[in-house]
Amino acid sequence: MESTDYTQLDYDKLKKQLSFNFAENKAIKDLQIKPDAFIPVLFSLKFGGDWSFKTSELEAMAVKEKITRYNEVEEEGYTLERVTLFVNPILISTEGKVLRLEKCGTKNERELVERPFRVKLDAEDIILAELNPAAMEIHLERIKGPLTFEGSAAYGVSHEMEHLAGGEHTGKFIWEFKYRVQG
Ligand SMILES: [Zn+2]
């Protein structure tokens, strides 16, 4: 009977989701981290991208890097997602200036912003979360700072630190650019 099959599938899915949530809570407990501090990691793993979160007690930010491991002989691979969580991050230094267009989740247009090429930062606590799509595993590990990021991850750090500081970036928009046709 179709309706029974459907219910069975729903039930199996719900059961998996519940046990996933249970494992998630256990991981948070095992790591001895405040659940609020872990929120940006969950968002980054579930919805992708970089996230920051702030309460009256803490600031937390998660920055995602993607690393593709590809075997040229086998012609197959996977994209590893490395999410670094910083609890109460402290920016140590920045290097360089890069102009780029960025789209923030809270805005509906891309903006021209300036980001450092390299950033060095530390935090009260740093957790590394590595999602491996081939093994279907999320590896969690506490690591020591300070850490240095460059390129995309550095732009992400700068963007999220700005959110935590509460500063609103007001850059230029695409409609302020000029078209130049080679003629
Ligand atoms: Zn943003």
Consecutive 10-residue averages of pLDDT for the chain (183 residues): 71 92 94 95 95 96 98 98 98 98 88 96 98 97 97 97 84 92 93
Residue with tokens 């494992």: 23
- State which fold the 33-170 domain adopts: Peptide Deformylase (3.90.45)
CA angle 56, 50, 30 (to 5 degrees): 65
Cα(43) to centroid(ligand 1), Å: 13
Tell me the residues surrounding ligand 1 (ion) with CB < 5 Å: 104
Q: For position 107, what pLDDT does the model report?
A: 84
- Among 166, 85, 177, which Cα is nearest to 123's? 85
Angle between helices 35-47 and 2-31 (to 10 degrees): 140
- How far is Cα 43 from Cα 21, in angstroms, rounded to an integer? 13
User: Are the C-beta atoms of residues 23 and 140 closer than 8 Å to each other?
Assistant: no
- Among 127, 148, 44, which Cα is nearest to 85's? 127
Q: For position 144, what pLDDT does the model report?
A: 97
Q: For position 154, what pLDDT does the model report?
A: 98
- Among 135, 131, 119, which Cα is nearest to 86's? 119
User: Are the C-beta atoms of residues 91 and 121 closer than 8 Å to each other?
Assistant: yes
> pTM score > 0.85 for this model?
yes
Q: For position 152, what pLDDT does the model report?
A: 96
Beta strand spans in 72-158 (E): 76-95, 98-103, 110-115, 118-132, 137-143, 147-150
Cα(17) to centroid(ligand 1), Å: 29
The helix/strand count (H/E) of the chain reads as: 3, 9
Cα(13) to centroid(ligand 1), Å: 32
Q: For position 8, what pLDDT does the model report?
A: 84
User: Are the C-beta atoms of residues 99 and 91 closer than 8 Å to each other?
Assistant: no
- How far is Cα 86 from Cα 125, in angstroms, rounded to an integer? 6
Q: For position 20, what pLDDT does the model report?
A: 93
Cα(10) to centroid(ligand 1), Å: 35
Cα(168) to centroid(ligand 1), Å: 9
Cα(44) to centroid(ligand 1), Å: 13
Please give the C-alpha separations between residue 119 and each of 64, 116, 144, 157, in angstroms, as whole numbers: 15, 7, 16, 8
Cα(4) to centroid(ligand 1), Å: 44
Q: For position 4, what pLDDT does the model report?
A: 64
Cα(134) to centroid(ligand 1), Å: 30
